[in-house]
Amino acid sequence: MSSNQCINWQGNLACIQQDGLVIKSRHTIDGNHVFGPDSDYTTLAVSGLSLLSEESEINSVTVNGNIDKLVLQACGYLVDDDGEWKINCANDSASISISKDVEMDWEVPGEETDRERYNLIKNAWLQEMNAVSQGAFVSEQAYRSGAASRMNFSSQQLGDIRIWPPREMIGDQRPVDAPPLGQSGIIESWTKLSAGGAPSEFSLRAPILGGIGTVFVKLNDGPRGVFLIADDDNSEPEIGKVVSFGLRRIYAQDGLIRYGLKALIS
């Protein structure tokens, strides 16, 4: 493993070290790293694991901190109390370390964010967790059953056709499981929902964010899909522009944070 390779990764700051990896939110208040408007320890963990897996084999992980283990499993990582890789959440910072033996840290400057806006977003998430859905209710069971396709691009193959998300078919058509799709594509169309026109699941945060951006993307492996733009991505969407993806919070319902892939514009 290379030592101290520090990069911007999926909207975060990551540093690959000799014994593992440290990944932090790029947002800071008075120099202390804080979460972006749609990120938390779970999104940092998945982002860090995806980078670490490019250089190291990750057979199993164990978690120390407030991370949704079912999300890690949906993203293809085996969670075990005796896992080989240890994920440790910082107690007072939006930062985690992933290593086999030791808890690591790394000092890096971030981007100062507005404290008032940060607090407004944080409170909006708390209110959303306890709000009653006025839109399309999705049960926890339905959310969990489709998690792998939303978070890991799990797909199927039917002849020369790549199918995403996976689905059941009738008749003689029998698609087989295929490797996850690559996490990049091209914008074919985009739009932005005004703050007042956003669905109820986003109605508390949309005015703070100035609306909700979405893109229609043709993935490099063939399928197309509509994706939200990451809430802290300030790049302007353009037709033909390349996007990648990162796991982020989508919305909260019935006391449960719903996660999924959001577009990160290059």
Last residue within a domain, chosen from 56, 84, 113: 113
pLDDT at position 146, please? 86
Structural domain contains residue 163: yes
Identify whether residues 137 and 84 lie together within a single domain. no
Identify whether residues 108 and 154 lie together within a single domain. no
**DSSP3 helix / strand / coil % (the chain, rounded to 5):** 20, 35, 45
Apex CA 96: angle with CA 32 and CA 71, to 5°?
Answer: 125
Identify whether residues 96 and 145 lie together within a single domain. no
pLDDT at position 145, please? 85
Q: Are 110 and 26 in contact (CB under 8 A)?
A: yes
Rounded Cα–Cα distance for residues 266 and 260 (Å)? 19
Identify whether residues 99 and 201 lie together within a single domain. no
pLDDT at position 41, please? 97
What's the chain's Rg over C-alpha atoms?
A: 19
Structural domain contains residue 122: no
Structural domain contains residue 120: no
Identify whether residues 135 and 260 lie together within a single domain. yes
CA-based nearest residue to 74, from 54, 45, 52: 45
Structural domain contains residue 224: yes
Look up the domain containing 54 and give its range: 5-113
**Phi and psi (nearest 5°) for 164?**
-150, 135
Q: Work out the number of other CB atoms within 10 angstroms of the CB of residue 266.
A: 9
Q: Which CATH number do you get for residue 146? A: 2.40.50.840
Stretches where the chain sits below pLDDT 70 are: 1-4, 132-136, 170-171
Structural domain contains residue 24: yes
Last residue within a domain, chosen from 85, 113, 141: 113
Residue type, 16: I
Count up the domains in the chain and report the number: 2
Identify whether residues 191 and 101 lie together within a single domain. no
Identify whether residues 96 and 206 lie together within a single domain. no
Rounded Cα–Cα distance for residues 37 and 205 (Å)? 9
Rounded Cα–Cα distance for residues 245 and 153 (Å)? 10
Structural domain contains residue 119: no
Residue 141 CB-half CA count within 13 A: 0
Identify whether residues 97 and 134 lie together within a single domain. no
Q: Are 209 and 231 in contact (CB under 8 A)?
A: yes
Before 165, cis peptide (omega within 30)?
yes
Q: How far is CA 148 from CA 58, 230, 245, 257, in A?
A: 18, 19, 15, 16
Q: Are 135 and 128 in contact (CB under 8 A)?
A: no
Structural domain contains residue 178: yes
Last residue within a domain, chosen from 113, 142, 168: 113
